[in-house]
Amino acid sequence: MSNPIRIGVAGIYHETNSFAPGITEVEHFRDQWVEDAITFDKKYRGTRTSMGGTIDAAESNQAELVCGFVTYATPSGMVSAAAAEELMDHLIATLPTEVDGYVLFLHGAMVAENHDDMEDEIVRRIREKAGPDLPIAVTLDLHANISQSLANRSDIIVGYDTYPHVDMYERAVEATDLLCATIRGEIRPYTAWKHARMLVVPQTMITSHNPMKALLETAWRMEKLDGVLAVTVAGGFPYSDIPDAGMSFTVTTDGDEQLAERCLDELTQLAWSIREQFQFPEVTVEEAARWTREQTEGPIIWIEGSDNVGGGSPADATHVLRFLVQWNERSLIVIRDEEAARKAHELGVGAELSMAIGGKSDELHGDPVAVTGKIRLLSDGRFTHQGSYMTGKEEYMGKTAVLELEHMTILITEKRVPPFDVGHVRSAGIRPETYKVIVAKSAVAWRTSFGDIAKGEIFIDTPGCCSANLSHFQYKKIKRPIYPLEG
């Protein structure tokens, strides 16, 4: 019996919105900082995360996992050059050695001031240390902006197939299984890449619906072909202004370059032929209000996609809040405001809080809005994911306060927390099903929180760094022409 396979794991994971206010520093990664096997196992075993998937797949392959540096930060603005260097230096310094291959947990849309394509730079540095031949499997988010260079450096690429993302576990199992098969000499993976020349907004990337469904079904049909190992449909992330931003595909075959190219041609042609379906209509707040009044049942989800917290926005945009405070339907909104959260904790439950909240990041996301309400509940902002998205993951919103106004409830949080799990409001004693309107600062991921109780949904057009209207943005680096900036 030969020695068991040894798999090194590492990852730096960030979705960078280069239009978002603020710079992302190393501090933003500290909450999710893992660099030893015991912490890695404790944090991720049994979870439906990529790391949980690799733990289980390693066991089923009788492989040994060797833990390197794994970290993550909530999507936000540009990563500073200093942070990028510190994170990569740490990853390389702690990179497991004497392993047979690596599984890397990367996003695909991480951008630093000094590197447009962070994933490519990370894999380049790993190759520099580990050599050109050691097999590397990379897991990527569906919103990855993949480049030719990253595909060249990676043996295996497996991206998520779902948005909202509920299959990171399965995709990491797939990547780890393929890596183990490579190490055992059963396959010789070859990964090819092609760009679709399209910029797509997250709102139209819901994978259970067309047009994404059509692309994924094509990918899954290809995965059944002899010699095809993995096909990734990457919707891309249009808020990273880098040369290769946008939709692209990777095909990993068992050493068959022509087969990979044929699959890529078919996928890019299909994407181009349905490009108009990726256009996304929205309405003004006033139109949304009129339509909502006509609905007899709630909750109606007001999707404030321009302040999509999961996409890197500040979570304190006030364009919708400003309307709701003077409206007379019962509504719920979550606003990040450190100052207000701390003040509420100083005042205590039952006290009145009167101050201007939100709108403190930049001009794009609106000005602070004056509110007066009663502090109904204070919490430490900790909860555990119970829904389908990363079930079991612990979340931390910082100091959290429930502010009750005459017609609305405002959940004030100290930190930016995307509405990925209904626990973010339920943990603060809020029953979301009792509201006529719930504002979701999200593009799509809110479905894992409120999808079960929503009686309707409407997309609101407001300014913000995740706006679905791409003509609002001044792209500087992206390769042109690209649809829909040019037809």
Q: Which residues are near Zn ion by CB under 5 A? A: 141, 143
Tell me whether residue 95 or residue 144 sits nearer to Zn ion (CB atom).
Answer: 144
| CA–CA distance, 335 with 377 (Å, rounded to integer) | 15
Residue nearest to Zn ion (CB): 143
Q: Which amino acid is residue 458, in one-letter code?
A: I
Tell me whether residue 57 or residue 166 sits nearer to Zn ion (CB atom).
Answer: 166
Q: Are 67 and 90 in contact (CB under 8 A)?
A: no
Q: Is the peptide bond before 164 cis (omega within 30 degrees of 0)?
A: yes
Tell me whether residue 101 or residue 464 sits nearer to Zn ion (CB atom).
Answer: 464
| CA–CA distance, 219 with 233 (Å, rounded to integer) | 7
CB of 109 to Zn ion, least distance (A): 8
Beta strands in 132-259 (DSSP E): 136-140, 156-159, 190-195, 228-234, 248-253
CB of 445 to Zn ion, least distance (A): 8
Tell me whether residue 207 or residue 253 sits nearer to Zn ion (CB atom).
Answer: 207
Cα–Cα distances in Å, from 200 out to 250, 448, 470? 17, 21, 9
Residues counted in the chain:
487
Tell me whether residue 29 or residue 420 sits nearer to Zn ion (CB atom).
Answer: 420
CB of 389 to Zn ion, least distance (A): 11
CB of 104 to Zn ion, least distance (A): 17
Tell me whether residue 168 or residue 353 sits nearer to Zn ion (CB atom).
Answer: 168
| CA–CA distance, 36 with 29 (Å, rounded to integer) | 16
- Element of type H or E holding 319: helix 319-324
| CA–CA distance, 315 with 400 (Å, rounded to integer) | 14
CB of 335 to Zn ion, least distance (A): 23
CB of 164 to Zn ion, least distance (A): 9
120: tokens are 């490519």
Contacts of 326 (CB under 8 A, 6+ apart): none
| CA–CA distance, 410 with 404 (Å, rounded to integer) | 6
Q: Which residues of 353-378 are buried (b: 16+ CB within 10 A; e: fewer)?
A: beeebbbbbeebbbebbebebebebb
CB of 419 to Zn ion, least distance (A): 14
Measured between its terminal Cα atoms, the distance across the chain in Å is 60
| CA–CA distance, 123 with 138 (Å, rounded to integer) | 9
CB of 364 to Zn ion, least distance (A): 22
CB of 142 to Zn ion, least distance (A): 5
CB of 143 to Zn ion, least distance (A): 4
Q: Are 421 and 361 in contact (CB under 8 A)?
A: no
Tell me whether residue 143 or residue 365 sits nearer to Zn ion (CB atom).
Answer: 143
Tell me whether residue 310 or residue 359 sits nearer to Zn ion (CB atom).
Answer: 310
Tell me whether residue 15 or residue 337 sits nearer to Zn ion (CB atom).
Answer: 15
Taking every pair of C-alpha atoms in the chain, what is the biggest distance, in angstroms? Answer: 73
* Closest alpha carbon to 215 in 198, 231, 192, 230: 231
Tell me whether residue 61 or residue 442 sits nearer to Zn ion (CB atom).
Answer: 442
Q: Which amino acid is residue 375, in one-letter code?
A: I
